[in-house]
Structure 1
Amino acid sequence: MTTLGLPQWFLWASASAVFAALTAIFAKLGLKNIDSDYATFIRTVVILVALACFLSYTGKWQDPSALSAQNWTFLVLSGLATGASWLAYFKALQIGDASQVAPVDKFSVVLVTVFAVLFLAERPSMREWLGIGLISLGVLTLAWRR
């Protein structure tokens, strides 16, 4: 299904980018005079409450026993990776400029592609590799200091 001639995944990914950008700005403002790890905890509690409300409102709660061992394993690993990413991100935001930290954090786009090739057998096109190369160049440009 498309909206405005754009694939639905693109619209959701664009919304994610907008919210991720706001996350950096709000977090930078909220990290003043507070430990970054404690700030990550507060953020996590807010997310838990918000998601519980959303799942209740939409009726999307599921029986946890219906999940497979593979579901549990990879969702737990994803949660641990998310937590580690948030801790590192908030620490970086606390000591660096949001305009520098956020673009370097988005190097994850490059890493996702590399990991998808290695672990998911995905095969990006030459055009996609060019885009990934440009993102890499942009991150290096932003990280490089004179």
Structure 2
Amino acid sequence: MPNSLFLRVPKKEGEKYRRELSDEGVLRKDAKITSDLSFIYLPISRKFKTNLKILKRLSIPLSKKPRSIEDALKGKLSQSQLASLTKSFDIIGDIAILEIPASLQKHELKIAKAVSAVHPNVKCVCKKTSGMQGKFRIRKVKVLL
């Protein structure tokens, strides 16, 4: 793995520098921000003039969690399948309730795993199997994960 650049900033000023680097387009989004007891190490894409110390590291954690379900499913579903995926879903406590189109029924487990990867607080992923029914407007669901 090639050397990666990090900007070392005091912990108290970490958020200020993170915002500045992000606004300048220097902060890397594919690498994880790390820290120790006194400093935060912000991954940067290139060198620039600063009075802070820029460090080179050999190993950086690149396995950042996906920011959206689409990011988690890239490479697992085709672009047309991703386009047909319903973008919204309900989270009630630690339960996610999805609406999965019929064209994606065979990929429902992949979709459920993607939801739990994006939302680590979700312990149970269900899909809607019926509309609202009865006096109390109850919906039937199938547990996927």
- TM-score bin (small chain): under 0.3
The normalised TM-score by structure 2 is: 0.28
Q: TM-score, normalised by structure 1?
A: 0.28
Larger strand proportion of the pair: 2
Which protein has the larger Cα radius of gyration, Structure 1 or Structure 2? Answer: 2
Q: Which has the higher helix share?
A: 1
